[in-house]
Amino acid sequence: MENRYSFGGDEHIFVEVNEEMSLEAFFKSLSITSAVKEAEIKGVTEICPANASFQIKFDPDVIHPDDMLKELKSLEVAAEKAESRIATRIVEVPVFYQDPWTHETLMRFRERHQDPSATDIEYAARINGYDTVDKFIEAHSGAPWFVSMVGFVSGLPFLYQMVERARQIEVPKYLRPRTDTPRLTVGIGGCFGCIYSVRGAGGYQMFGITPMPIFDPNQEINYLSDFMVFFKPGDIVKWKPIGREEYDEAVAQVEANTFTPRTHDVTFDLGEFEKDIDGYNAKLMEGLYGN
């Protein structure tokens, strides 16, 4: 992997760590952006890590773009040697699959879909080789997902499934993006899962909805009182399938401000993970559920 550098106008440097997605590329992007943060380079105004790339915004009145490029390239070498280990947390996120709200929305946008005769989840199950939607849900919620980028809008997490590549779910985005997506929709586009933090446009296939808010600009929700955005890169998510009753219960708890997501602090080690993916995930679950 060699980094590809490109200027985004006179205020940004864009760095592609790898054309394709992998956790190795993510960790390299994360370690370089951490190094950039620590280096406190004068003129840097924004540091944005992404899935397999990252972007630096800078003020060219303070530092010449060529000098910024040199600084970044010098940090790349140090970041190469960094360990692929991070202290992070695992979070259980309840999902009501095939809920009525995303169903209503997907029906409204059927003409923009690859397969207007099926629902998003039926289509995703079929093209990924699952006989039934239930088996697809098992595959979606059976192994944890890694937050590999936060962005698009208002703290929306992009998630990368922690299984070997052959088992990873992949679906295309809608043929034309929707103009509407319910808030807290859980979906996938390409290999990336996401939770739509707010209502709005979107192109990912929609599978369900979570009762758990992940963005609160007023910071009134107890677990968002420190900061309005819940997720950060490196967080690990475990989907928990729930039914209508559990969903309604959780929504009531959110309204009463008594809902708190189940979380557990962990150290994630990419090397150890890759040696035995399923075994490593099982240990992560033990940490989360304490059994």
Binding site residues, other proteins, CB under 8 A: 6-12, 14, 16, 18-22, 45-55, 57, 60-61, 64-66, 149-156, 158, 160, 165, 170, 172-173, 189-192, 197-198, 200, 203, 215, 217, 229
Element (H, E) at 8: strand 4-8
- Give me the least distance between CB of 145 and other proteins, in Å please: 13
Choice between 103 and 183, CB closer to other proteins = 183
Q: How far is CA 79 from the centre of its chain?
A: 23
Element (H, E) at 5: strand 4-8
Choice between 227 and 289, CB closer to other proteins = 227
- Give me the least distance between CB of 47 and other proteins, in Å please: 6
191: helix, strand or coil:
coil
- Tokens representing residue 70 in the block: 């040199």
- Give me the least distance between CB of 26 and other proteins, in Å please: 10
- Give me the least distance between CB of 271 and other proteins, in Å please: 21
Rounded to an integer, what distance in angstroms lies between the CA atom of residue 124 and that of residue 133? 9
The half-sphere exposure of 286 on its side-chain side, counting CA atoms within 13 A, is 7
Label residue 133 left, alpha or beta by phi (over 0 means left) and psi (-120 to 50 means alpha). Answer: alpha
- Give me the least distance between CB of 250 and other proteins, in Å please: 22
- Give me the least distance between CB of 18 and other proteins, in Å please: 8
- Tokens representing residue 199 in the block: 């209502």
| Cβ partners under 8 Å of residue 97, min gap 6 | 121, 133, 137, 207, 208, 241
| Residue 259 · residue 236 · CB < 8 Å | no
Instruction: Tell me the pairing of strands 53-58 and 12-16.
Output: antiparallel
Instruction: Tell me the pairing of strands 85-97 and 236-241.
Output: parallel
Choice between 77 and 175, CB closer to other proteins = 175
Q: Where are the beta strands (DSSP E) in 52-178?
A: 53-58, 85-97, 145-150, 157-161
- Give me the least distance between CB of 113 and other proteins, in Å please: 14
